[in-house]
Structure 1
Amino acid sequence: MAITTDHIRTVISAYLDDHPEEKPGLAPALELLAADADLTSRKEFRGHATAGAVLVGGDGRVLQVHHLATGRWLLPGGHLEDGDTSLLAAALRELTEETGVPADAVTPVGDGPLHIDIHPIDANSAKGEPRHRHIDFRFLFTTTADIGALQAEEVADAAWRPVDELHDELVKLRVAQALSRP
């Protein structure tokens, strides 16, 4: 069954139970949900859901991809697809597609997202997309596997990078906290 707006609502609600201080930052997503917007639709330009992966290797480094469209090192992730059954499953699919790391060699750390980030995306005239927002559900995974075949149409390179090189301070903190738990 495809991801539903109710699933997104449930994931955000559980996330806010753990991180109530983040409610103001998630206000755009909450407002869209209150207006019954379809956050699963890539055509919802006020904001739509995406899924990302924070993959930590056996040595504690995080896998990042050099994204062709942005020219930046980012976490693997992307848009939801009709066959995705949950946000967690979408994050795992994106991870394996972009990096070639086999899904059976990846273990999720928890059921919910490590972080939810809302950020602007520039207009893309080639795709007919105006400036819009991504509501990015980032899930934490671990692995002992290495990088496989990259998704050449989206990813120029992939590398294991120190946690300190992540751009988001909150994600750095959450990764450290999650990995220090028994």
Structure 2
Amino acid sequence: MSLYDDAVLVLKAYEGQEELRQAYLDHLSAHPDGMWKACRAGHVTASALVIDPERGRVLLTLHKKLRMWLQMGGHCERGDTTLEAAALREATEESGIPGLTLLPGGPVRLDRHPIPAPCHWHFDVQYAALAPLDAEHVISDESLDVRWFAYDRVPDVADESVVRLLEATRARL
């Protein structure tokens, strides 16, 4: 099964955000290359909020280009076989934490957001990843900083999309 096929199946099974979910499916139907960064009409991305529920905190990255505190994530790559694998790869690469595990039940949220030209949209499929106890993070080349934040501090540093992802993740827990 291709990554494209997996994405369609994941999105069809996703419950909630009905209009947005359908927009993702419509985009993929109209753009067979919609999984890849080269699709200028927009492309699917995969991300994961790294969470430490034992300590009530999340790990965010200060994105090098956007200069915003965000969850770990990014573009799908040719070697990714599933959206889950892409989200877990991105979270592991950007956090430097081995042994992350995704929360069961598929994506936690969907978030479509505009991006600068030449592309137009990211169709982000958002997961949540549990950090192992005493996980130590590393700052990747894609980040200016990586830092743990208590749940109640996230609204002070991150935008609404990250706050909504944290709320949905905590509800899933």
Task: Classify the TM-score, shorter chain.
Answer: 0.7 to 0.9
Identity of aligned residues (%): 35
| Contact 2:137 2:146 (C-alpha < 8 Å) held by counterparts | no
- Distance in 1, matches of 2:85 and 2:105, equals 10
Task: Tell me the matched-pair count.
Answer: 165
Residue 136 of structure 2, aligned match among 147, 154, 158: 147
Amino acid at match of 1:160: W
Alignment partner of 2:172 out of 168, 171, 178: 178
TM-score, structure 2 as length reference = 0.86
Aligned residue in 1 for 2:72: 76
* 1:159 matched residue in structure 2: 147
Aligned CA distance change for structure 1 residues 174 and 60 (closer, same or farther; 3 Å)? same
| 2:56 corresponds to | 60
Contact persistence 1:2–1:82 (CA under 8 A): no
Contact 1:48–1:135 (Cα < 8 Å) also in 2: yes
Q: Secondary structure at the match of 2:111?
A: strand
1:65/1:75 contact within 8 Å kept: yes
Partner of 2:106: 112
The equivalent residue for 1:9 is 8
Q: SS in structure 1 opposite 2:113? A: strand
Looking at structure 2, the residues matched to 148 and 171 of structure 1 have their Cα atoms a distance apart, in angstroms, of 21
> Residues 2, 84 of structure 1: CA spacing in aligned structure 2 closer, same or farther, 3 A cutoff?
farther
Partner in structure 2 of residue 127 of structure 1: none
What TM-score, normalized by structure 1, do the two folds share?
0.82
Do the aligned partners of 2:39 and 2:119 also contact (CA within 8 Å) in 1?
A: no
- RMSD over aligned Cα atoms: 1.8
Match runs of 1:98-109 below 5 Å: 98-102=94-98, 104=99, 106-109=100-103
Residue 137, structure 1, aligned to residue 136, structure 2? no
Letter in 1 for 2:78: D
In 1: Cα distance, 2:101 partner to 2:21 partner: 27
- Secondary structure of the residue aligned to 1:175 is helix
Unmatched tracts of structure 2, length 5 or more: none
The 10-residue stretch of structure 1 (142-151 or 69-78) with the greater mean CA deviation from structure 2: 142-151
